[in-house]
Chains A and B, each alone.
Chain A
Amino acid sequence: MRPFDYVRAEDTGSATEAARGGATFIAGGTNLLDLMKLEVMAPDRLVDITRLDLGAIERTEVGGLRIGALVTNADLAAHGTVRRNYPVLSRALLAGASGQLRNKATTGGNLLQRTRCHYFYDTSQSCNKREPGSGCAALGGINRIHAILGASEHCIATHPSDMAVALLALDAEVETETADGARRMRPLADLHRLPGDAPDRETVLADGELITAVVLPSAPRGHQAYRKARDRASYAFALVSLASVVAVENGRIARASLAFGGLAPKPWRDPEVEATLIGEVPSEELFDRAADVLLREAKGHGHNDFKIPLTRRVLKAALREAAGMEKPA
Chain B
Amino acid sequence: MQVDLTVNGVRHALDLDPRVTLLDALRHDLGLTGSKKGCDHGQCGACTVLVNGRRINACLALAVMHEGDEITTVEGLGEPGALHPLQAAFVTHDGFQCGYCTPGQVVSACGMLGEVREGWPSHVSVDLEGPVDLSDVEISERMSGNLCRCAAYTGINEAIREASAKSEAAE
Verify whether A and B have any Cβ pair under 8 Å. yes
Chain A residues near B (Cβ < 8 Å):
1, 3-6, 26, 28-30, 33-34, 37, 46, 48, 50, 74, 77-78, 80, 83-84, 87, 90-91, 94-95, 97-101, 103-104, 232-235
Pick 7 A–B contacts, CB within 8 A, sort by A: A29-B60, A30-B60, A33-B61, A78-B119, A99-B112, A100-B45, A100-B145
Q: By the criterion CB–CB under 8 Å, are A77 and B145 in contact?
A: no
B50 to chain A, nearest CB (A): 10
B118 beta carbon closer than 8 Å to chain A: yes
Of A28, A34, A233, A234, which one neighbours B41 at CB under 8 angstroms?
Answer: A34
Q: Which residues of B contact A28 (CB under 8 A)?
A: 60
Q: Tell me, yes or no, whether B21 is within 8 Å of chain A by CB.
A: yes
Q: Does B157 contact A (CB under 8 A)?
A: no
Given the contacts A34-B42, A99-B115, A100-B42, A234 and B141 also touching, CB distance less than 8 Å = yes
B120 at the interface (CB under 8 A from A): yes
**Are A91 and B144 touching (Cβ within 8 A)?**
no
How many angstroms between the C-alpha atoms of A148 and B120 in the bound complex? 35
> Could you tell me if B121 and A29 are in contact, using CB atoms closer than 8 angstroms?
no
Return chain B residues, CB-CB under 8 Å to A100.
42, 45, 48, 55-57, 108, 111, 145
Chain B residues with Cβ below 8 Å from A48 are 64-65
B171 within 8 Å of A (CB atoms): no
Q: Does B57 lie within 8 Å of A74, measured CB to CB?
A: no
Q: Is the CB–CB distance between A103 and B56 below 8 Å?
A: yes
B40 interface residue (CB < 8 Å to A): yes
Given contacts A94-B123, A234-B123, contact A103 B41 (CB under 8 A): no
How far is the CB of B64 from the nearest CB of chain A, in Å? Answer: 6
CB within 8 Å of A: which B126-171 residues: 128-129, 140-146
Provide the bound-state CA to CA distance between A103 and B62, in Å.
Answer: 15
Using a CB–CB distance below 8 Å, which chain B residues touch chain A? 1, 17-19, 21, 40-42, 45, 48, 54-57, 59-62, 64-65, 108, 111-112, 115, 118-123, 125, 128-129, 140-146
| CB–CB A4/B55 < 8 A | no
Task: Determine if A97 and B145 form an interchain contact, defined as CB atoms under 8 angstroms apart.
Answer: yes
Contact of B108 among A29, A94, A99, A232 (CB under 8 A): A99
B112 contacts across to A, CB distance below 8 A: 99
Which residues of the partner chain B approach A34 to less than 8 Å between Cβ atoms?
Answer: 41-42, 60
Partner of A104, one of B56, B119, B125: B56
Contact between chains at A95 and B45 (CB < 8 Å): no
Write the chain B residue with the least CB distance to A98: B145
Contact status A84-B144, CB under 8 Å = no
By beta carbon, the residue of chain A nearest B123 is A94
Contacts of B55 in A (CB 8 A): 99-100, 103
Chain A residues with CB under 8 A of B146 = 98
A71 CB → nearest B CB, Å = 13
Nearest chain A CB to B118's CB is how many angstroms away?
Answer: 7
Distance of A108 from chain B, by nearest CB (Å): 16
CB atoms of B121 and A94 under 8 A apart: yes
Contact A78 B45 (CB under 8 A): no
Known pairs A33-B62, A103-B54; A74 contacts B18 (CB<8 A): no
Cβ of A245 to closest chain B Cβ, rounded Å: 15
> Which residues from chain B contact A83 at a C-beta distance below 8 Å?
121, 128-129
Instruction: Kindly list the 10 A-B residue pairs having the minimum CB-CB distance in the complex, ordered from nearest.
Output: A98-B145, A234-B144, A6-B18, A94-B123, A78-B120, A83-B128, A103-B54, A235-B144, A104-B56, A1-B19
A74 to B129, CA, bound (A): 15
Residue of chain B at shortest CB distance from A36: B19
Chain A residues within an 8 Å CB radius of B115: 74, 78, 99
Please, which residue of chain B has its CB at the minimum distance from the CB of A103? B54
Taking A99-B115, A104-B60, A233-B144 as known contacts, 5 extra A-B pairs with beta carbons closer than 8 A to each other, sorted by chain A number, are A29-B62, A91-B128, A100-B45, A104-B57, A234-B123
Given contacts A4-B19, A29-B65, A30-B42, contact A101 B128 (CB under 8 A): no
**In the complex the two chains form, is A33's CB within 8 Å of B60's CB?**
yes
B142 to chain A, nearest CB (A): 6
In the assembled complex, which residues on chain A have CB atoms less than 8 Å from the CB atom of B17?
Answer: 3
Q: How far is the CB of A32 from chain B (nearest CB, A)?
A: 9
Q: How far is the CB of A319 from chain B (nearest CB, A)?
A: 22
